[in-house]
């Protein structure tokens, strides 16, 4: 089966690595000539709306995405022409607009922080009167990995925030004083069968995921509510593939932050830590193959490498540390790889992880203390 993927980054690369043993071939469409997935299939270098490029992609048996900001209109065009696009364009349309996303969560009774649309300065001042400080001013579109947002702590932040973001349609969100963050990944097939991966506990810095641990050390009731939210969202969207819902936990409350209609960084640990990885299960769902088991193989801790790959000398000597270099050029703020540490139990994993601190790039050394102390 030939699978077309809009996007040729590391997520497409790992989908291909999982799908090739299933007998799949891959075609990637990406605007960048150095897209790292191109090593594993045909790479079509073109903009998303390029008609001739989409014609080449439409020859595939199934079409999916590795990037949530592929224009939903492009996916609708492919689907209207009779090509099986999974997940469908409606999921991307919802995830691409933060206001639409928050309203969707509210309609499903998934609690969210207070929010308000902002189309001008008057809207912003009115919203701040209702929501108060601190608050996050965000672009409604193209915001990922911490892009397109400004933290408003006091009125003195208004002018620099407006200078940076005022040319966009915006949303103001109340600040959530959360205890920790977590993420639930759901896989659903076209027949409606759903499975959940163990809840991941996540740690971010500067808006980017840095660490993810599974299983999250939370009580059963919270885990069940997180799974219920993920299942509800996937069912409502008639979703096919893997979907991740990111959540804040504040006391006994869980609040929806955002969702990704694709495989997700917080579940990279599933490659070694689960029976069937999120990447394989996404391809299985998209291609109408039986879903794989989502059960935990072993407790896992994933380190995200941002900007540049760290030195491998010390880290590769660690037993059960699994290394992933995406083959991307180093660049500040760029996701270039990850590593996943496994152990038989979480108490056995923690001291091994802490021994790595001196070899970890900043701020992972500091964030690791935060994660293991929870």
Looking at residue 337, the DSSP 8-state letter turns out to be E
CA gyration radius for the chain?
20
SS3 (DSSP) at 93: helix
Q: Report whether 328 belongs to an annotated binding site.
A: no
120-173: per-residue pLDDT in tens?
889 999 999 999 999 999 999 876 666 788 999 999 999 999 989 988 899 999
List the helix and strand counts (H, then E) for the chain: 13, 17
Cα–Cα separations (whole angstroms), residue 74 to 63, 70, 91, 92, 365: 12, 7, 13, 11, 42
Q: CA 4 to CA 53: how far, in whole Å? A: 11
Q: Binding site annotation covers 258?
A: yes
Burial of 172 (0-12, 13-18, 19+ CB in 10 A): buried
Residue 371 has a pLDDT of 81
What is the reported pLDDT for 272? 98
Reduced to 3 states, what is the DSSP secondary structure of residue 334?
coil
Q: What is the DSSP letter of 70?
A: S
| Residue 111 marked ligand-binding | no
Residue 236 annotated in ligand binding: no
174 is in an annotated binding site: yes
> In the chain, which segments carry CATH 3.30.1490.20?
114-174
**Is 98:255 a contact under the CB 8 Å cutoff?**
no
179 annotated as a binding-site residue? no
Q: Is 179 helix (H, G, I), strand (E, B) or coil?
A: coil
Name the one residue in this structure whose structure tokens are 């997940």.
87
Give the pLDDT of residue 374: 60
Q: From CA 36, how far away is CA 352, in angstroms rounded?
A: 31
For 310-331, write each residue's pLDDT tens digit: 987 788 889 999 999 999 999 9
CA dist 44 and 6 (Å) reads 10
Give the DSSP per-residue string, 116-178. EEESSHHHHHHHHHHH-SSEEEEESSS--TT-SEEEE-SGGGHHHHHHHHTTS-EEEEEPP--
Give the pLDDT confidence score for residue 146 in this predicted structure: 63
181 is in an annotated binding site: yes
Q: Where in the chain is the domain with CATH 3.30.470.20?
A: 180-373
Instruction: Please state, in angstroms and rounded to a whole number, the distance separating the CA atoms of residues 363 and 303.
Output: 11
Distance CA 105, CA 28 (A): 31
Tell me: is residue 148 an annotated ligand-binding position: yes
15 pLDDT exceeds 70? yes
CA distance 209 to 10: 15
Give the pLDDT band (50/70/90) at residue 373. Answer: low
In this model, does residue 107 exceed pLDDT 70?
A: yes
Q: Which CATH number fits domain 2-85: 3.20.20.300, 3.40.640.10, 3.40.50.970, 3.40.50.20?
A: 3.40.50.20
* Entry pTM: 0.94
Question: How large a percentage of the chain has pLDDT more than 70?
Answer: 98
Of 156-170, 292-306, 357-371, the least confident: 357-371
Question: What's the whole-number average pLDDT of the chain?
Answer: 94
**Residue 337 banded pLDDT, cuts 50, 70, 90:** very high
Q: Number of C-alpha atoms within 13 angstroms, CB side, residue 309?
A: 17
Where exactly does CATH 3.40.50.20 map onto the chain?
Answer: 2-85
Lowest-pLDDT range of 9-18, 105-114, 169-178, 359-368: 359-368
Domain range 114-174, CATH class: alpha beta
Q: Is 138 annotated as a binding residue?
A: yes
Question: Measured between alpha carbons, how far is 57 from 28 in angstroms, rounded to an integer?
Answer: 8
The two tokens of residue 247 are 């959540």
Binning pLDDT at 50, 70 and 90, where does residue 40 land?
A: very high
Q: Strand 180-188 vs strand 200-205: parallel, antiparallel, or unpaired?
A: antiparallel
pLDDT tens per residue across span 242-298: 999 999 999 999 999 999 999 999 999 999 999 999 999 999 999 999 999 999 999
> Is 143 annotated as belonging to a binding site?
yes
Residue 146, annotated as binding a ligand: yes
Is 272 one of the annotated binding-site residues? no
Question: Is 90 exceeded by the pLDDT of residue 38?
Answer: yes
pLDDT of 345 strictly over 70: yes
Query: Across residues 194-198, what is the average pLDDT?
Result: 98
Please state, in angstroms and rounded to a whole number, the distance separating the CA atoms of residues 160 and 165.
Answer: 9
Confirm or reject CATH 3.30.470.20 for domain 180-373, answering yes or no.
yes
Q: Per the annotation, does 147 bind a ligand?
A: yes
């Amino acid at each position: 089966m030939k699978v077309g993927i809009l996007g040729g980054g590391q997520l497409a690369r790992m989908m291909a690595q999982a799908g090739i043993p299933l007998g799949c071939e891959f075609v990637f469409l990406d605007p960048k000539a150095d897209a790292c997935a191109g090593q594993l299939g045909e790479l079509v270098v073109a903009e998303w709306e390029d008609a001739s490029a989409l014609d080449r992609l439409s020859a595939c048996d199934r079409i999916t995405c590795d990037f949530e900001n592929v224009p939903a209109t492009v996916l609708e065009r492919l689907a209207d022409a009779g090509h099986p696009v999974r997940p469908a364009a409606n999921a991307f349309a919802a995830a691409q607009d933060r206001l639409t996303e928050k309203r969707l969560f509210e309609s499903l009774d998934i609690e969210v922080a207070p929010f308000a649309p902002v189309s001008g300065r008057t809207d912003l001042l009115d919203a701040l009167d209702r929501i108060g400080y601190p608050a996050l001013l965000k672009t409604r579109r193209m915001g990922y990995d911490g892009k397109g947002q400004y933290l408003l702590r006091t009125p003195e932040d208004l002018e620099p925030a407006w200078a940076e973001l005022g040319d966009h349609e915006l949303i103001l969100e109340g600040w959530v004083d959360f205890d920790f963050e977590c993420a639930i990944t759901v896989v659903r097939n076209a027949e409606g069968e759903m499975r959940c991966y163990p809840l991941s506990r996540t740690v971010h810095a500067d808006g980017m995921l840095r660490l993810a641990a599974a299983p999250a050390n939370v009580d059963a009731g919270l885990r069940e509510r997180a799974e219920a939210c993920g299942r509800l969202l996937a069912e409502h969207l008639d979703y096919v593939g893997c979907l991740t819902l990111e959540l804040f936990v504040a006391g006994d409350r869980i609040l929806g932050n955002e969702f990704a209609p694709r495989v997700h960084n917080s579940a990279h640990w599933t490659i070694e830590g689960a029976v069937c990885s999120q990447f394989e299960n996404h391809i299985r769902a998209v291609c109408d193959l039986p879903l794989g088991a989502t059960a935990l193989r072993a407790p896992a801790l994933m380190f995200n490498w941002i900007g540049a790959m760290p030195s491998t000398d010390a880290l590769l000597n660690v037993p059960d540390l699994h290394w992933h270099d995406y083959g991307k050029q180093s660049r500040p703020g760029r996701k270039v790889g990850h590593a996943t540490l496994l152990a038989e139990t979480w108490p056995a994993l923690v001291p091994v992880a802490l021994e790595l601190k001196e070899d970890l790039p900043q701020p992972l050394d500091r964030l690791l203390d935060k994660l293991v102390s929870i």
